[in-house]
């Protein structure tokens, strides 16, 4: 997959859609600030409405007023961003479904005039299911061939509502969004034209469930740049754009195979076929001890999660591995998928859009295994943050709890649950790091009651509205056998007040960065003897800021393997580290480390880092001369004078011998002994400052302060 070409498509599409929607808002009477002159507002009349001296339908009046109210509430910029993304994700998703033979080619052109198939078929009398009022409006429009954009807007909106996958994953389209379909959406060079004739996305790309995630990351890349350019604290609605980044697939495979895969192999030691398939599996430094093994009864019991899942890249890899496990154990394809969705796999993200894309990608993957999932009868368990409880509009929360639990909750249980809802008032800033302090009895009550409501065909609306909140409480109080994550990166200086206070109060060892907060949280959410894996910047391995976090891991858990990576994994980054950690305390723990870095700021193509890792897995004695590296190399050859990469059997307790407990896996025994047996410098001599200028401001000059024409100072 050529991500550079996909990035160009996504950014061009975003700009075309935003410009078209901004122009459409103007034609609807709004100025650039979202204000409307009184004479530009539609007037409701019997049987219709009057706007711009033209007779419109009654439905137009209500759509326009809905748009007006939304702009007053959110601001015009937010509304056209929202509308642009709605059309972007829906139309991209439809095209992906079409390329996977999961729907008819509704976006394809029926003729040289660029009339979409869905419009052409409607003109022939084949109209999709829709409300009678919409049908009547459409029939009137179909009499005028110049109204093709308006016809398309009604038809594609109705089609999205009617298609199970699109509707279940993305939800209903707001009524006013139909009004904001750009006038040039079907024009040459417009968005639909781009989708139908793109040279940037290949047919092979369209088959990949990862495509929708890459499109989203690149779609929001400009927004991400805008957020970072403003400096300062990130507001809650800016956190998703600022913190989302796509993990290279080989690193995802490494993390998943060495957590979920390793747990399976520990329970099935004679399995060989799957083990051959997992090319990034790292052999353990020591043989597993029975008392430290995570045991499970059935595959359905295995709990796997990504609690900051973004658009679902890691979830997709987890799905693939779990699916292979089920097939290897004799399950049918449909049964395997249903078990994964219902029992094994959980995803959470505070970005609703990312959650939607995760569901879509996983459902697409399910359909590729079994087309019977095209009716979306079984959905992936991917959650986002619920809407905060509003006492003014929803009334006392106690009333809702009484209805939800049908009077079965005790006063103590209600108090605990109300505390959870109070915390969720800040869910859009805190996301998955929220800690719900509930008793086992309260959790069991929530679990049983929520399962009951999901089994019912008729559910009261006040209950249905709160079911996602209770599912989130359950997900964030679960103990997972395997957690695999690329957590969000955000320094404490960018955290807003709510987030900053919460991490200081609840994650003292990881509080300096959101990524390390998540690492601390992962250790708490992983079951005993379970495993978790992450990829974050390598600062946690060395800086004094994270000494407490390192010590907690060294003393209470076991680092099974770690990739220490050069810059280049995520472009011009500051390097990365990906670790697999077992939630087992072991005084004699040892791990395997891969030093895929020489100098701190040397930058590698991430594909070359993958090649280095693969060659080292194949030959543990592989060495590489990092000094000879250039980005235009086509192969990475062994060099006798090169650097060692593979470090097996590194004793974890040795890290504590060095002050600050850095993860110094490459440090020799001689150096370690100098810390244990040697003396500190101040025992031998008192270090002092040597020669000094005495007055740097007077005597010290930077290069640009020196005159090139004579010996005088500037």
Which residue ranges in the chain fall short of pLDDT 50? 241-243, 714
Q: What is the DSSP string of 392-433?
A: HHH--HHHHHHHHTTT---HHHHHHHHHHHHHGGGHHHHGGG
Q: What is the pLDDT of residue 234?
A: 55
Per the CB < 8 A criterion, the answer to whether 553 and 589 are in contact is no
Cα separation of 694 and 574, whole Å? 36
Task: Note the Cα 292 to chain centre separation in Å.
Answer: 31
Answer positive or negative: Cα dihedral of 668, 672, 677, 680.
Answer: positive
Phi and psi (nearest 5°) for 362? -70, -40
Report the C-alpha gap between 479 and 474 in whole angstroms: 10
Rounded Cα distance, 98 and 95, in Å: 5
CA atoms within 13 A on the CB side of 629: 24
**Distance in angstroms (rounded) separating the CA atoms of residues 316 and 347:** 10
Name the CA dihedral angle for 177, 179, 183, 184, rounded to a multiple of 10 degrees.
10
Q: Which two tokens stand for residue 650?
A: 């590194």
Looking at the DSSP bridge assignments, the partners of residue 412 are none
Q: How many CA atoms lie within 13 A of 390 on its CB side?
A: 7
According to the model, what pLDDT value does residue 572 have? 55
User: How far is Cα 35 from Cα 29, in angstroms, rounded to an integer?
Assistant: 8
**Integer Cα distance of 344 and 364 in angstroms:** 18
Q: Where are the domains of the chain?
A: 3-232, 391-475
Task: Cite the DSSP H helix spans in 129-282.
Answer: 132-142, 148-162, 164-170, 191-197, 203-207, 211-219, 221-229, 239-243, 249-256, 262-267, 273-277
pLDDT at 176: 84
As a three-state string, the secondary structure of 155-194 is HHHHHHHHCHHHHHHHCCCCHHHHHHCCCCCCCCCCHHHH
DSSP string across 19-81: HHHHHHHHHTTB-TTS-B-GGGS-EEETTEEEETTEEE-HHHHHHHHHHHHHHHHH-HHHHHH
Mapping DSSP to helix (H, G, I), strand (E, B) and coil, where does residue 656 land? helix
Is residue 561 within 8 A of residue 591, CB to CB? The reply is yes
The pLDDT value given to residue 393: 87
| Residue 594: closest CA among 665, 535, 652 | 665
Could you count the other beta carbons within 10 Å of the beta carbon of residue 333? 15
Note the Cα 615 to chain centre separation in Å: 30
Taking alpha carbons only, the member of 24, 47, 53 closest to residue 136 is 47
Give me the helix-helix angle, 76-99 and 211-219, nearest 10°.
Answer: 160
Distance CA 325, CA 319 (A): 10
76-99 helix and 3-27 helix, angle to the nearest 10 degrees: 130
Q: Are 589 and 649 contacting, i.e. CB atoms less than 8 angstroms apart?
A: no
From edge to edge, which strands make up the β-sheet containing 43-45? 43-45, 48-51, 54-56
Give Cα 42 distance to the centre of its chain.
41
pLDDT (0 to 100) of residue 244: 52
Q: Are 254 and 578 in contact (CB under 8 A)?
A: yes
Rounded Cα–Cα distance for residues 82 and 72 (Å): 14
- As a 3-state breakdown, the chain gives helix, strand, coil percent values, each rounded to 5, of 55, 10, 35
Angle between helices 467-475 and 440-454 in degrees, nearest 10: 130
Q: Is the dihedral of CA 400, 401, 402, 405 positive or negative?
A: positive
Scanning 619-668, the segments in alpha helix (DSSP H) are none
Backbone φ and ψ for 482, nearest 5 degrees, come out as -145, 130
Q: Please write the tens of the pLDDT for every residue from 241-293.
A: 444 566 888 999 999 999 999 999 999 988 889 999 999 999 987 777 778 88
The 3-state DSSP class for residue 127 equals coil
Residue 648, pLDDT score:
95
DSSP string computed for 497-533: HHHHHHHHHH-TTTTTBHHHHHHHHHHHHEEEEEEEE
How many whole angstroms separate alpha carbon 597 and alpha carbon 575? 9
Q: Which residues pair with 563 in a beta bridge?
A: 578, 594
Burial zone of 551 (CB within 10 Å; 0-12 exposed, 13-18 middle, 19+ buried): middle
> Is the alpha carbon torsion for 360, 365, 366, 372 positive or negative?
positive
Residue appearing with tokens 């987030």: 499
């Amino acid at each position: 997959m050529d991500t550079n070409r996909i990035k160009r498509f996504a950014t061009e599409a975003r700009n075309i859609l935003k410009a078209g929607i901004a122009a459409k808002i103007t034609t609807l009477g709004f100025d650039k600030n979202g204000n409307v002159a009184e004479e530009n507002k539609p007037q409701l009349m019997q049987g219709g409405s009057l706007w711009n001296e033209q007779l419109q339908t009654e439905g137009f009046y209500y759509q326009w007023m809905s748009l007006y109210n939304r702009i007053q509430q959110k601001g015009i910029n937010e509304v056209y961003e929202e509308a642009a993304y709605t059309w972007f994700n829906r139309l991209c998703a439809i095209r992906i479904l079409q390329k996977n033979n999961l729907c008819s080619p509704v976006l394809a052109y029926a003729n040289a005039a660029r009339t979409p198939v869905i419009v052409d078929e409607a003109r022939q009398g084949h109209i999709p299911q829709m409300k009678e009022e919409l049908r009547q409006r459409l029939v009137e429009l179909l009499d005028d061939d110049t109204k093709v954009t308006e016809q398309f807007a009604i038809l594609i909106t109705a089609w999205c509502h009617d298609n199970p996958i699109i509707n279940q994953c993305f939800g209903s389209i707001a009524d006013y969004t139909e009004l904001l379909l750009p006038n040039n959406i079907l024009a040459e060079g417009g968005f639909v034209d781009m989708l139908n004739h793109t040279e940037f996305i290949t047919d092979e790309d369209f088959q990949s469930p990862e495509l929708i995630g890459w499109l989203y990351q690149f779609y929001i890349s400009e927004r991400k740049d805008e957020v970072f350019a403003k400096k300062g604290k990130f507001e809650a609605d800016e956190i998703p754009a600022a913190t989302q980044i796509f993990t290279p697939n080989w690193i995802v495979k490494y993390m998943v195979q060495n957590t979920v895969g390793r747990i399976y192999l520990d329970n099935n030691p004679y399995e060989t076929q799957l083990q051959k398939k997992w090319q990034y599996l790292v052999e353990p430094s020591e043989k597993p001890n029975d008392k430290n093994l995570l045991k499970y009864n059935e595959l359905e019991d295995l709990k796997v999660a990504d609690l900051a899942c973004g658009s679902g890249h890691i979830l997709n890899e987890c799905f693939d591995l779990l699916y292979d496990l089920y097939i290897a154990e004799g399950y049918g394809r449909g049964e395997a998928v249903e078990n994964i969705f219902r029992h094994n796999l959980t995803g959470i993200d505070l970005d609703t859009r990312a959650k939607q894309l995760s569901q879509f990608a996983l459902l697409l993957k399910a359909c590729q295994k079994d087309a019977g999932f095209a009716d979306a009868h079984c959905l992936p368990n991917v959650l986002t943050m619920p809407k905060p409880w509003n006492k003014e509009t929803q009334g006392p929360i106690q009333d809702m709890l009484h209805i939800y639990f049908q009077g079965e909750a005790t006063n103590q249980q209600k108090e605990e649950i109300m505390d959870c809802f109070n915390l969720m008032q800040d869910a859009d800033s805190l996301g998955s790091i929220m800690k719900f302090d509930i008793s086992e009895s309260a959790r069991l009550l929530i679990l049983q009651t929520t399962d009951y409501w999901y089994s019912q065909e008729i559910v009261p609306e006040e209950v249905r509205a709160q079911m996602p909140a209770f599912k989130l409480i359950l997900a964030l109080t679960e103990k997972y056998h395997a957690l695999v994550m690329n957590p969000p990166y955000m320094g404490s200086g960018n955290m807003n007040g709510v987030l900053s206070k919460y991490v200081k109060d609840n994650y003292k060892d990881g509080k300096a960065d959101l990524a390390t907060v998540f690492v601390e949280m992962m250790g708490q959410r992983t079951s005993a003897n379970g495993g978790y894996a992450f990829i974050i910047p390598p600062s946690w391995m060395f800086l004094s800021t994270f000494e407490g976090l390192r010590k907690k891991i060294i003393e209470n858990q076991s680092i099974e393997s770690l990739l220490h990576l050069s810059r280049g994994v995520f472009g011009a980054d500051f390097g990365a580290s990906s670790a697999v950690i077992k939630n087992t305390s072991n005084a004699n723990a040892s791990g395997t480390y891969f030093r895929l870095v020489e100098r701190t700021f040397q930058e590698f193509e991430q594909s070359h880092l993958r090649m280095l890792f693969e060659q080292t897995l194949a030959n543990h004695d592989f060495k590489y001369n990092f000094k000879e590296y250039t980005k235009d190399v086509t192969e990475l050859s062994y060099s006798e004078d090169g650097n060692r990469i593979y470090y097996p059997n590194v004793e974890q307790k040795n890290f504590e011998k060095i002050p600050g407990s850095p993860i110094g896996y490459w440090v020799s025994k001689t150096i370690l002994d100098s810390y244990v047996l040697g003396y500190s410098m101040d025992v031998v001599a008192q270090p002092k400052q040597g020669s000094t200028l005495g007055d740097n401001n007077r005597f010290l000059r930077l290069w640009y302060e020196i005159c090139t024409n004579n010996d005088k100072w500037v």
